[in-house]
Structure 1
Amino acid sequence: MSAAATDTATARARVTPRDRVARADWQALAAELDGYGCALTPRVLTPTECRAVAEMYDETERFRSTVDMARHRFGSGQYRYFDHPLPGLVRGLREAFYPHLLPVARDWAAKLGRPAPWPDTLGEWLEMCHEAGQTRPTPILLRYGRDDWNALHRDLYGDLFFPLQVVIALDEQGAGYTGGEFLLVEQRPRAQSRGTATVLRQGHGLVFTTRDRPVRSARGWSASPVRHGVSAIRSGMRHTLGLVFHDAA
């Protein structure tokens, strides 16, 4: 490898997931969230980082619980909730996204005439959750095999919740698996539901609404309820990392 190539590789290695999150065009992403309730980020994890996170799935000591979706009629597949202490990469991503999502959360609350209890830092917000009895960590690692799917749902976990969350693809659709599109279904005020299907590229994140979002109506702003899920996996294996910004009761 030439000296120039070595310098380039070294420079890339120094770029962290936190740096990649910060470099995203958050003004454009906020506009997309306002329009659709979801927005794709640029790549925030390298393929190597994606594999490292996906491989954590078999390290059961990292997790506080495992959920079999078929058993609970949530769909088919399995996911695991990380336990304390969170892996550094997972904790860092959660901390990196929060300040960029906070302005959107506050803007949506203002439009809907709701309280905006979220402080400037994730640490302060999680302290509020813990004081309210929501102490269990919520970042999750999901694994889907052939014919698995995820029913439409919301990730609330308690009275205190943050209105946006992030899912990051750890495998590449078309290479590691087929099918498995991310689904978002929105109940429009006094109208039929609107569905959005998104293909998640490896290492990229999708920011989406946790419960509802503001939409313009004849009376000003109305709350449009939203649920999310995953279409059936046709082949292969699909792993994703879910970042929820409130802890669970």
Structure 2
Amino acid sequence: MGPPSALLVRAMERLPESRPGGAEAGWRLARASVEVLGMVPAGPVTVTAEVERPGRTIELLSATMSAGGRDVLRARAWRLAAGDTAGAEQGAVAPLPGPGTGTIRTERPDGWLPGFLDATEWSWLGGDELGALGPARTWVRLRVPLVDGEEPTPAQRLMVAADCANGVAAPLDVRKWLFVNTELTVHLHRAPEGEWIGVDAATVIGPDGLGTCSATLFDEHGHTGRSGQALTVRPR
């Protein structure tokens, strides 16, 4: 659901501010959440967006993706006015080693489907790789545009990478188990920059069919945010 989630963020990013002049230093995306209502088809979809809660310094945005006459994804985002807090900056975790230090892996593990993996580039850290079980760290970037002829924004790239977290930290063999996220929530303390997004992810599986995946997110300048996913877990 990474690229569809990024399309929803794209629609919300393009919404004009409701009260011009309220955010003199610009706006920042602070949180984006996407609820998965159904399967997103490999075909035409419609995306709509609106400002739900207008304001001079705080706005709540929403977007919906529909296909075949029904909603398949719904998103909300808090857009906050930027300000100068450089003197109070604190709490960020140490940066990941850069994507140039990782191992580029292009092979697709057994059981993983083509399509999305072929449209992304991966640089794995510390010997990690797709298909290995347990926590992992990697960098990911898009090989193709999200929208033809248009450069994706860093926030759109980050949404794609964040949705990969439960695959990056695959807890179980995908040939035997499903661990599908029903939502994606991203919190940002700094606007991401650049093409590469780093993901340091870990998954917890409970005893009764539920799981959670949490990730720390990076760009090449350092820590930029965190993500979480609720998982439904069941044998194939």
TM-score, with structure 2 as normaliser: 0.27
**When you count helix as a share of all residues, which structure comes out higher?**
1
Considering Cα pairs closer than 8 Å and 6+ residues apart, tell me whether 1 or 2 has the greater RCO.
1
Q: Structure 1 or 2: larger strand share?
A: 2
